[in-house]
Amino acid sequence: MPNYMPYLLLAAASLFILTGILIRERRFYVLVIHLSFAGMIYIFEVFNLVVFQAYEYSPGIVRDKYLDSMIGSTVSNFMTVPALALLIAYYQLRWKWIFAGAFTLGGVDLLFVHLQIYTHHWWSSSYTVITLLAFFWMCRTWIRSVRHGKTLIPYITFLMYSFCVADSVFFLFLLSGWRRFQLGLYRNPLRDDVMLTVIVAFCVAFILVNAIYWTNKRSYLMMGFTCILIGQYALYRTGHLSLYVSPWLYSTAYAAALLLISFICIAGLRALRGNSRYPDPDQ
């Protein structure tokens, strides 16, 4: 059996859960919460997977082992864990379901290790269960605060949602081979690229969120765009960004990506405000 087959089955199960909730609720707000949970997981995985190299995924999709691991991680981080967290949090499921979800994924962790399509370096399946118990409980509590409109929680939720969107879009740039970030922190150039991609994605999300969240004025969004583009130019001029296509082609694609991210972020904020008790700042 190919390595990628269990990953595909896990992705299909995750999509089944997410699609079921979306069909039942018919609200974009559901997807916003899912992606905000994914953004939280991205932060966790930056340290666990990139910095401390706790484990390694092996779906066998591409030849480069590190890039293959990054692609494999998207099944867990972007789909499976946030989908279960959404199910538990949105419907406020009790502790028995939190335990069931955590131990089920712990079993999947063990199975993937047994199949040799996932490797622990210093991590263990027991750590997976413990962290998932804590994360699922946090998500169940978190969504209540989002609904009640406590100012800081909706803001962080929107930031995590926007970070997930930005990082996912910029990961496509990494896969395209059009550019390469060079942080100079790691010997492996792809590990270096992934790390700086995450940092840039968070910075872009932070700028856009603060340009959109506090006011609806377009001038602030344009100022945010300007800062982001200046940052990209600075990375290019200092040698931290290498281009393998025409600078004009990359700039056009990057500007289009920023517009797409902004549109998705604005749609997400409207969904959050439509399902929470905190007011629009311009009303």
Q: Where are the beta strands (DSSP E) in the chain?
A: 55-57, 118-120, 179-181, 241-243
Q: Which two tokens stand for residue 258?
A: 């920023």
Question: Tens place of pLDDT for every residue, the chain, 283 residues?
Answer: 799 999 999 999 999 999 999 999 999 999 999 999 999 999 999 999 999 999 999 999 999 999 999 999 999 999 999 999 999 999 999 999 999 999 999 999 999 999 999 999 999 999 999 999 999 999 999 999 898 876 689 999 999 999 999 999 999 999 999 999 998 889 999 999 999 999 999 999 999 999 999 887 788 889 999 999 999 999 999 999 999 999 999 999 999 999 999 999 999 999 998 876 544 544 4
Q: Which residues pair with 120 in a beta bridge?
A: 55
* Rounded Cα–Cα distance for residues 110 and 24 (Å): 32
Q: Strands 118-120 and 179-181, how do they pair? A: unpaired
Could you tell me the residue ranges of all domains in the chain?
Answer: 1-147, 149-283
Q: How far is CA 127 from CA 55, 101, 121, in A?
A: 12, 14, 12
DSSP letter for 182, please.
Answer: -
The structure's pTM equals: 0.94
